[in-house]
Amino acid sequence: MITQLHILITYMCTMSCEHCFVCSSPQSKGTFTPSQITALLDQADALGTVDKIYFEGGEPFLFYPVLLNGIRQARSRGYSVGIVTNGYFATAEENARCFLEPFPGLGLADLSISDDVFHYEDREKNAARCAFRTAKEMGLPASILPLDPGASGPETRGSPREEKKGVVTGGGIMFRGRAAGRLSRYADAHDWQEFTTCPYEELKDPSRLHVDSYGNLQICQGISMGNIWEHPLEELVRNYSPSGHPICGPLLEGGPAQLARELDYTPPSTGVADACHLCYLARKSCREKFPGVLEPAQVYCDD
């Protein structure tokens, strides 16, 4: 049952992190308008099972008025609301307070702030920590969103290069999107045939979906259930057949290894980094065969 909708308010970001699932960057396109958010929330109302809305990206604070408008719309309909941000705006506590000033009155349920060595190499003092500290002082439900507390938490004192290596080899990265191309070479290699399950997503009965301004309704980043601007959310969810889906079906049957076989994809002889890496490579190899399914282009770094 779908209980969460994660709105990718924009693919644009202040950064081009090496580990980004959706290949966001300052040049990325695709941003919601207030009227599109209204239309999406209308569809969520019609579905009747959603109780939480997340605003993320990219970096949602880049389109601050649209973000505030979307939060107010969602809260007025009774949805619990969360935000995921890198906190770039908190270059000083005064600036952080200026950006966060409206939020104590909006009834946020969660403000997740990304703080890891890929976002900020300065592990002692950075914008994310300033945003977190200021948000907590203002009574907001802020939390730090690290990749791996053991490798990138505040207590770590290694060099940025050492910390990045620790996150890559220690299991903090999922190798999809930009991470598949830029970081997989530094990970431990595994025999692709050992990945017989999808370890992260609830493909049979998903509880959350991601949607972008182009209408792509994603079960997992880059695997679409359909397009909400072409068919209503309620219809897409009702007609979703996990076993009949050309990508989710094989994944449920035998994981990324089975997907690679069914897509006639030959994995690298040197091995793959993890299940996500194998799944991503197999999907990227044949995107043209599955229009409307292997979407959006941003996730495959093709935008």
**CA angle, 25 then 296 then 59, to 5°:** 30
- Kindly provide the residue ranges of all beta strands, DSSP E only, lying in the chain, ordered along the sequence: 4-8, 52-56, 80-85, 110-114, 142-145, 208-212, 216-220, 223-227
Q: Cβ(107)–Cβ(142) under 8 Å? A: no
Q: Which domains does the chain have, with CATH numbers?
A: 4-179+202-241+291-300 (3.20.20)
**What are the residues facing 114 on neighbouring strands?**
145
pLDDT tens, N- to C-terminus, the chain (303 residues): 999 999 999 999 999 999 999 999 999 999 999 999 999 999 999 999 999 999 999 999 999 999 999 999 999 999 999 999 999 999 999 999 999 999 999 999 999 999 999 999 998 899 999 999 999 999 999 999 988 644 444 444 567 777 787 888 777 788 999 999 999 999 999 999 999 999 999 999 999 999 999 999 999 999 999 999 999 999 999 999 999 999 999 999 999 999 999 999 999 999 999 999 999 999 999 999 999 999 999 999 975
Return d(Cα 164, Cα 180) in angstroms, integer. Answer: 15
